[in-house]
Amino acid sequence: MRASFASRAAARVRARSSVEDGIASKVECLLEALGADPAFADAVLGDLTEEHARRAARDGARTARWWYVGEALRSAPHLLASAVRHASWRRRARLSAYIAAVLLAPAVAVIALFGGNGLPAQLVADMGSAADIVVNNVRPVQLAMRVLDAAGHVLPDTGVRYRWSAGVPVPVSSTGVVTCTQPGDATVHASLGPLTTRLTLRCRPVLDVRAFRMLNIVVGGPVAEVPFLAVDADGQRVTQLRGQITVEDSSVATVNVTAEGKQLLRARAAGSTALNVRIGDRDAHMEVHVYERASTPEGIRPGQHLAVPVQVRGGDMRQWRLAASPELY
């Protein structure tokens, strides 16, 4: 058996090039000690190695390392079954000495993974309430879960798995990448070991966000809701939205959210700024001009942002003398 494992040294080089030498060598030693079928063990290591390389590039070395350890432990029962089928009676007797260690390994890995914090006790959606997630994206989006222990400490979310279970058929990957191909509600299950939670995925894809190019408001004037319209592929208004409205210069204007979810634009000082509306993966931009209130335009200086209330009746005419602006010459 040692010769069989040694003959696959080339495969080990690939594993050690993408997985830390210490972890890779320990996994190899465990497979050899268990007496797993060499071809089956090589297939397991090859799959783990390829996926580890992808995760290391995407999520970082630490996250990929813990994923590798977790998946190796998950493969242990299958490797044991393979060893039992192919081992002699002496090898089977030897396996019994390792079974206790194999059964304890997941607990040891969990303690190492979560450090001094407690064990995972709760899964909470990180994109809305614990059971209701609105998705306005047209392109694929990553679902996010928070893993908490009994004391409420946040733990690493490595290992959370997802699956679609009911409702509109939307693609959901095991790692939580979802694509809302059509409007409707779907049920998704998220799990981490024995923990499981059910999410209601409200797919409301927004194809376009429509807004005014320019908006004028007055300091001290009425507060108005930000004017924009989110529509779907059929041009129909989408009312359940998850997004963000930002103002580039908060000294000129700010956006406040009411308890009912309304986005109210409030003028703070004369000037101009940009307002950005982003819903899902679509956005719109507006220029906001803020004016100060004045009783008369007489004496206005070039560059001032002033708003003057004017009331005229039919046939009336009002005239003011304004200072010439240097920009006109």
78-136: per-residue pLDDT in tens? 666 666 565 565 655 555 555 555 555 555 555 545 454 568 888 888 765 556 889 99
Distance from C-alpha of 255 to C-alpha of 262, rounded to nearest angstrom: 10
Confidence (pLDDT) at 68: 74
Q: How far is CA 317 from CA 70, 262, 311, 314, 324, in A?
A: 82, 40, 10, 9, 21
The fold adopted by the segment(s) 120-203 is Immunoglobulin-like (2.60.40)
Distance from C-alpha of 176 to C-alpha of 184, rounded to nearest angstrom: 18
CB 42 within 8 A of CB 87: no
Strands (E), 54-150: 120-125, 132-135, 141-142, 145-149
* Both structure tokens of 284: 């719109």
pLDDT over 80 at 305, yes or no: no
Confidence (pLDDT) at 288: 94
Domain parsing of the chain, residue ranges: 2-114, 120-203, 208-328
Pairing of strands 282-293, 214-218: parallel
Distance from C-alpha of 23 to C-alpha of 8, rounded to nearest angstrom: 17
Closest to 145 measured CA to CA, from 206, 180, 189, 203: 189
Confidence (pLDDT) at 132: 83
The DSSP call for residue 324 is: P
Confidence (pLDDT) at 66: 73
Distance from C-alpha of 217 to C-alpha of 305, rounded to nearest angstrom: 11
* 8 confidence band (pLDDT: 50, 70, 90): very low
277-294: per-residue pLDDT in tens? 999 999 999 999 998 877
The fold adopted by the segment(s) 208-328 is Immunoglobulin-like (2.60.40)
Confidence (pLDDT) at 208: 96
